[in-house]
Structure 1
Amino acid sequence: MGKKILIVDDGAFMRMMIKDILIENKFRVVGEAADGEEAVLLYKKLNPDLVTMDITMPKKDGITATKEIIAEDPQANILICSAMGEDSMVVQAIRAGAKGFIVKPFQKERVIQAIDKVLSK
């Protein structure tokens, strides 16, 4: 069975797009969250191998959620999915403990390469 992935994005279409890419590449999507608050709760419950994390979301942003997950599990693999123009946010996310990032809109190959890179560390 493939690695367990938690998808976090406030956009249902974006979650579906990421999910399709992951399933097509033999990953197992174990959960989806629409905000950072839900992401932290699901991380604790599901213990995924990797989290794809959006930055700008309601209730709790991706940087805050990343900090909370890393505080709970310093070995957590978090991959930031950022829109263009959020460069300073990406830097903040990496400082918060994220292990990599991909820029939206993304290509399938880039998503898989980024996930493989984070999981191989």
Structure 2
Amino acid sequence: MQLRLAIVDDDISIRKMLRRIIEEARLGSVTECSDGIMAEEILRESRPDIALIDLLLPGQDGVELIQRLAAGCPDTSYIMISQVNSEPMITRAYESGIEFFIHKPINVLEVRSVINRVRESRNLRQFISYVRQTASQFDGPSAPAKTAGDSQKKSIIYRIFSDLGIIGEAGINDIYLLIELISAKQQNQGKMSYQLNELYEQLSQKLGQDAKTIEQRIRRTIAKAMQNLANLATEDYYNEVFQDYNSSLFDFKEVRQEINYVNGKSHYRGKINVKKFVEGILFSVENAEA
């Protein structure tokens, strides 16, 4: 089924460029708006699948717009577009519920790639929802999923990504979807064991990508997180972010090995453990929500 997209930007040239990219790639149909206040009414009525929203808008900014839309349009996926490079503002945007942040000037390949990745993410969420519904038929009636809780969980996860300095890495979407898949299985089947290879294959089927490619993206992103932590420790061993995550998401001896590599004391980097990383994030989410 064709996607329904909305573009909210006060710059008509940006709107025209994005519309042309979307239509030439046959990504879906497009609605446009130039004002944050008007956009709220239009998006509530049209309920697009994906909304591309500028951060700085007349009337109300993009973050405010998304926050006001979240309850009434829970099925819309949000992509933010802006020239802003401030990390706190970008983090605030992710916490409001966006899935990706596209920096201006607009890059055609990036826009196509991001929209396709959001579409893949939406397809996977539908699959996870199907898994939950199917499992609930055997487990008996259960309480409906809480949209607010899901939003809070996503905010916590992306805050961790931001703390680790990997918000801009290609693999964060894959990691988030992997966490969602594990979380869905645990909710319906308890704290069961699982095989990462099986989960990579499930992601592969839903995303239409090679499982090995997905795994490599995830591993590269987690390795980048370890590298960033090691750099923090080199500058300040008692850095709060380093202390929070060095042993909860990684094996500390491997972090120490990475620190030695960064300092030129070793030719070997630290090794990452995907299971420890994603389960550590899930543990952080559970503790924050408790």
Residue 91 (str. 1) matches residue 91 (str. 2) = yes
SS of the equivalent of 1:120 reads helix
SS of the equivalent of 2:80 reads strand
Q: Which stretches of structure 1, 4 residues or longer, exceed 3 Å deviation after superposition?
A: none
* Of 110-119 and 70-79, the range deviating more from structure 2: 70-79
1:106 to partner: Cα distance: 2.0
Distance 1:62 1:105 in 2: 17
1:52 to partner: Cα distance: 0.3
Q: Letter of the aligned partner of 2:33 in structure 1?
A: A
Distance 2:88 2:119 in 1: 24
Shift in alpha-carbon separation, 1:29–1:89, aligned structure 2, 3 A: farther
SS of the equivalent of 2:14 reads helix
Partner of 1:120: 120
SS of the equivalent of 2:37 reads helix
Once the two structures are superposed, the pairs formed by residues 1-121 of structure 1 within 5 Å of their partners are 2-121=2-121
- Contiguous gaps of at least 5 residues in structure 1: none
Q: Could you give the per-residue CA deviations for residues 4-30 of structure 1, whole angstroms, max 9, x where no partner exists?
A: 100000101110010000000113333
* 2:6–2:32 contact (8 Å) kept in structure 1: yes
* 1:9–1:15 contact (8 Å) kept in structure 2: yes
Distance 1:6 1:89 in 2: 22
Distance 1:84 1:62 in 2: 12
* Of 17-26 and 75-84, the range deviating more from structure 2: 75-84
Count of residue pairs brought into register by the alignment: 121
Distance 1:45 1:105 in 2: 30
Distance 1:26 1:37 in 2: 29
Structure ranking higher on relative contact order (CA contacts 8 Å, 6+ apart): 1
Q: Please, what TM-score do these two structures have when normalized by structure 2?
A: 0.40
* Of 80-89 and 94-103, the range deviating more from structure 2: 80-89
Distance 2:94 2:81 in 1: 12
Distance 2:90 2:39 in 1: 18
* Of 98-107 and 86-95, the range deviating more from structure 2: 86-95
Identity of matched residues, %: 27
RMSD: 1.4
Q: Could you give the per-residue CA deviations for residues 64-114 of structure 1, whole angstroms, max 9, x where no partner exists?
A: 001111121233200001114243322111101111111111211100111
